[in-house]
Amino acid sequence: MINNLNVTIKIPNHHTSTLSDLDMLIVNSVPPGGNWKNIPLDVPSRRIQQIRDSFSKGEGSRSTYYGRLLPNKPSYTINTYFNRPGNGCHIHYKQDRVLSQREAARLQSFPDKFLFLGSQGSINNQIGNAVPPLLAFQIALQINEAIGQCGVFIDLFSGAGGMGLGFKWAGWQPILANDIDAKFLETYSQNVHENTLVGSITDPNIFSELVDRTLEAKRKYHNRPFWVLGGPPCQGFSTAGNKRTMDDERNSLFLNYTEFLKIVKPDGFVFENVAGLLSMEKGSIFNQVKVGFEGIMPHVKGFVFSSEKYAIPQRRKRVFLIGQRKTQSNILPPPILTSLGESKDLFNNYFECVSVEDALSDLPELNAGQNGSILNYQHSPITIYQKLMRGVISPFEYLDNFKFKLSV
C-alpha cells in the first residue's frame, strides 16, 4: 500500500497516541494486570485522587481505570478512549504506552488489511464503537443454517462496518449502508462496499431516500432473503454513561429503526446494543424495544453474547435481537468456542480464551506517539489468530482450525 508521500504502508493504522510526562509516570508504575491502585500516592494526579476518594466512599472500584493488559488473558472492552491510559484498561501488556489503533482493531477482530480512514479521533471512535466482525460472522453463519441460504442486507447505523464485514465473510451480499458520519462511511466504502448514504435516519429526506433505495433493492433481489442490520448509537444506553434515560435523544433512534422495518418489510433484522440496555430504567427500556420489534416481526429472539467466548481476544458483552418474518426456522446462538477461567463445563470442553499476546505479539514495538505503519512485522504469525489477522487463513478456516488447536 502506497500513500500520497510515496511511503509504503505495511501495517495500516499502527499508530499510538502521544502521552504526557505525567501519563508516562503513571504508565511506568502499573504492572501487567494492575490498575490505578498500583500508582504511588505521590504521583500528582487530581483525577487519580478523585478515583481514590470515590472508591473510599464505596462508589465503585473503577477496576479497569489506568489498567495494563495481561498478556495471557483477553483484553477488557475496547472503547473509544483506548488512546488514553485512564479511561479503561488500555496500557499495552509489555510496552510503556497505550494500545495502537491497529492493536485495538485486532482485539476487535478487524484484519490488518482493513484500513480505517479519517482523523485520529474519528478512527478511535470507529474502532471502539464497532461490532467485532468475527462475532457478526458467527451470528450470520447461524442465520445461514436456520434459513438455508445467504441473503442480502441493508446496514443502518453502520459505523465503520464491523457487522457488515462479518456478514459479508459469511456469504451475505451488502446492498446499502447508512450512517450519520461521513468518515465512518468512507471507511465502510473502502472495506465493505461502496454503496453508502450519509445522513441521519431522523432526517425525513434521508429516511425517504433510504426507504426508496431499499425497496428498489428488495425488488431486484426478490429471490433472496432480505435483511436489515443495525444498532443505534449506544452511548445513551451504556452503563459507562452518566445519563441513561430516554431523555437522551440517541435512545429514541430505535423508533426510527422500527418505522423503517414497518415500511420496507424485510425477511428479518438484527439489532445490536450494549448490555446496559437490559438494566436501563430497571429493564423498562429494553421491554419497550422488545415489544416494539415484536409488533413488526412475529418471531423475535434475544441473546447476550460475550465475545471472549467466541475466539475473540476481548471481553465485550453485547445484546442482540434477531427477528424473522417466517417462524419455521429456529436461529440458535453460535456454539461457544472458548472459556475464560474454567476450560470445561459438565458437557463440553472449551479452549482457553484467545489472549492479548496471541493477538498482538507479532506487531512491531512502538514508543508512545509513534506511527509504526511503515514498520515490518516482528516475525511470521505464530498463532491461528495472527494468521487470521494477516489474511493467511479465512474466517472459515479460523473456526475450523480452532477446533483442533490455537497455536501452530
Angstrom distance (rounded) from CA 168 to CA 160: 14
Angstrom distance (rounded) from CA 208 to CA 226: 19
DSSP label at residue 130: P
Cα first-last separation, the chain:
28
Angstrom distance (rounded) from CA 156 to CA 294: 19
Which residues neighbour 42 within 8 Å (Cβ) at sequence distance 6 or greater?
A: none
Residues in the chain, overall count:
408
Other CB atoms within a 10 A radius of the CB of residue 385 amount to 26
Angstrom distance (rounded) from CA 296 to CA 311: 33
Angstrom distance (rounded) from CA 83 to CA 18: 9
Angstrom distance (rounded) from CA 63 to CA 392: 37
Angstrom distance (rounded) from CA 148 to CA 329: 9
Which residues neighbour 293 within 8 Å (Cβ) at sequence distance 6 or greater?
A: 258, 261, 269, 271, 300, 321, 323
Closest C-alpha among 374, 373, 303, 375 to residue 334: 303
Query: What are the residues facing 273 on neighbouring strands?
Result: 319
- Choosing from 89, 150, 234, 353, which is the catalytic residue? 234
| Helix ranges, 221-312 (H) | 253-264, 284-294
3 state DSSP class of 320 = strand
Residue type, 41: L
DSSP label at residue 100: P
C-alpha cell at 15: 499508530
3 state DSSP class of 336 = coil
Angstrom distance (rounded) from CA 344 to CA 193: 40
C-alpha cell at 321: 435481537
Catalytic residue status for 234: yes
Residues labelled catalytic: 234
